[in-house]
Amino acid sequence: MLAIRLRALGDVVLTTPAFASLAAGYPGRALVVATDERYVPLVRGLPFVSEVIGVGRTHAATLDAARAARRLGVTHAVDFFGNSRSALIARGSGARRVYGYDLRGRGRLYDETVPRETRHPGDRREHASAVHLRLAVAAGGATVPLSPHVPVSEPARAEAARLLAEAGVTPGARPIGLVAAGTWATKTWPVSHSAVLAARLMEAGQEVLLLDGPGEAQVTRRVRAHASAVRVLPACGLPALVAVIERLRAVVGTDSGPRHLAAALGVPSFAWFGPTHPDTWNPPGEAHGYWRTALPCRGCDRTKCAHWNCLPSLAPDVAANLVLAHLERHEGAHVR
């Protein structure tokens, strides 16, 4: 079995229940997962995954991934991503049956498709993990819980302890992890709002750790300019990031990969929603709260907006009160 999910971090995490579904539905067959090279360590530790193919960003790397899958002798391929590169890997793998979403221009590359979106009454939507599980079941997978799977190794835990000490986190403390950046500009709070939130949380006696990722140095500088006491996570690999999040009190801020890692690890979270929809992206369970804009255009899924004011209208002082109240209610939700 070949399962393909190229990016991004949160999406890969949300596809792990679908991976588990395929493994359970085809007992005795090896499950091979093709994903972006940076996410290979995350997937490799899953107990139901036998082999991981790292996929680079070039056309040549895409062809190499298809050849690697063909050499492994896959018989079924399931494309959980649905762009031209992932469809090419699925079709080029040599699989006898290829499954994917009924996306325009790519449906002919699959032998069987399912709708990417399903209709729900009113403003309701299907959770992203449920979408992927639906495709897995159509491909012969088993019905399994939607809980995401994230492995944590002991070496990563040791590295996490070192990183937290380097960041200046108080020994034994469980800081609040703050995500100030985001992959979409429109779904990301203004940096000034994140800085004010960090300051308000620290004034309330909380230790705040900014989860700084690749390419986010400018955001970090701007947050620290207004909240200089915030701790900053040093640069690290994905396994160490997972182990750091495991030790946090909560993850708050932009709905993002780190937040989905937190949910998989039993760590409470809180986020804000404007153009994206909480039905699709908010982790299930009361430990994962959110604040959503009241504007009628919310949930538009636009990555660009000429009159963007949905997230700026969510004031950081109010957000700080909501976060603190949420954590007070769900302090015992941390399972590790």
Q: Per-residue pLDDT for the chain (336 aa), expressed as one digit of tens each?
A: 999 999 999 999 999 999 999 999 999 999 999 999 999 999 999 999 999 999 999 999 999 999 999 999 999 999 999 999 999 999 999 999 999 999 887 777 899 999 998 878 888 999 999 999 999 999 999 999 999 999 999 999 999 999 999 999 999 999 999 999 998 899 999 999 999 999 999 999 999 999 988 888 999 999 999 999 999 999 999 999 999 999 999 999 999 999 999 999 999 999 999 999 999 999 999 999 999 999 999 999 999 999 999 999 999 999 999 999 999 998 754 444
Which pLDDT does position 298 carry in this prediction?
A: 95
Q: Beginning with the edge strand found earlier in the chain, give each strand of the sheet holding 97-101 in spatial order.
A: 51-55, 32-36, 2-4, 76-79, 97-101, 112-114
Closest by Cα among 70, 75, 69 to 29? 75
The three-point CA angle 295-298-303 to 5° equals 130
Q: DSSP letter at 282?
A: S
Which pLDDT does position 332 carry in this prediction?
A: 57
pTM: 0.94
231-232/208-210 β-pairing: parallel
Helix (H), strand (E) at residue 77: strand 76-79
Q: Beginning with the edge strand found earlier in the chain, give each strand of the sheet holding 208-210 in spatial order.
A: 231-232, 208-210, 176-179, 250-254, 269-273, 288-292
Which pLDDT does position 46 carry in this prediction?
A: 97
All domains in the chain, ordered by first residue: 2-138 (3.40.50.2000), 155-333 (3.40.50.2000)
Cα 17 from Cα 14, distance rounded (Å): 7
